Amino acid sequence: MEIRSIRESEIDLFIEVLMEGASWIAANKKRMWDEADLQAHSLMEGLTINNFFAAFIDGEIAGVMILQDEDSFFWPEDPEGEALYLHKLCIRRKYAKTGLSDRMIGYAKNLAEVSKKRFLKLDCAADRAALRQFYEQHGFALVNERLAMETYPAAFYQFEIKSYAKA
């Protein structure tokens, strides 16, 4: 298994994983991502290809995530350079329950540490108890709940990087 930033030629495969995840969530009556938001031009807005990461198993993209150094849209109060922000963590269904999401979060935490960030932060739907529990089990602490885009109840989490934790 390898986790790395994707190449431009792999963006369609990245999107395919997100679309598969969105379809699975919708089939379980829990709509999350709009198809329009999962198009390359929408995902790439304000980002570069280096923000897109994938886990590869036997040459196949098994999971994806976006990691960015700045997120003034969801975290406008954050000081510049303080955190790495995790978005759109998604695992192909055939790799669900294999520990892949744990390894991807571990990769993100490590990248935050080597990038000298104090926090790894994320937001998720506030009404998804299992997802929230998953992040809490990985050491993320709830720091806020509010409406995102004045419409969607969102929970905001942060993980304090150990090298920056208060002694």
The residue with greater pLDDT, 167 or 160, is 160
Computed over every residue of the chain, the mean pLDDT equals 91
CA distance 155 to 51: 22
DSSP 28-86: TT-----GGGGSHHHHHTT--GGGEEEEEETTEEEEEEEEES--TTT-TTSPTTSEEEE
Residue 76 main-chain phi, psi, to 5 deg: -65, -20
Spatial CA neighbour of 33 closest among 41, 52, 24, 140: 24
- What confidence score (pLDDT) does residue 23 get? 86
125, 153 in Cβ contact below 8 A?
yes
* Residue 153, token pair as written in the block: 């109840």
Single pTM value for the model: 0.92
Residues 145-158 pLDDT 10s:
998 878 889 999 99
Helices (H) and strands (E) in the chain, counts: 4, 7
Q: Which domains, from first to last, does the chain contain?
A: 2-121 (3.40.630.30)
